[in-house]
Homo-oligomer: A and B are copies of this chain.
């Protein structure tokens, strides 16, 4: 029950939903997600830790960066179903479409090393 509640609580935030859908398109690092969401790095990091703890996403080091990716191989029924359903539900959403465009053009090297 508590596990299930954690899943729904994790999904009760607009920015976390946006992150999940971004990651369904492409692996991203924290600073790229920050750029797209328009919130501070610490806030993004907090959201990512919530999504990671549940098993929605996975992280992996690549040079200086940590790449986050969607975990499509979860054994959890609810997690799997949610990840399948989300795109059908939100592909037409204006904000999500705008996020998708940014995902394609975002460049971590421009964002950092200022």
Contacts and interface: CB of A to CB of B under 8 A. Distances in A.
Interface of A: 1, 4-5, 8-9, 11-14, 17, 77-78, 81, 85, 88-90, 93, 95-96
A77 B81 contact: no
A14 B5 contact: yes
Contacts of A81: 81, 85
A12 B1 contact: no
Given A77-B89, A81-B81, A85-B77, A8 B12 contact: yes
A107 to B, nearest CB: 26
Nearest to A94: B1
A54 to B, nearest CB: 13
Contacts of A85: 77-78, 81
Nearest to A6: B12
B12 A95 contact: no
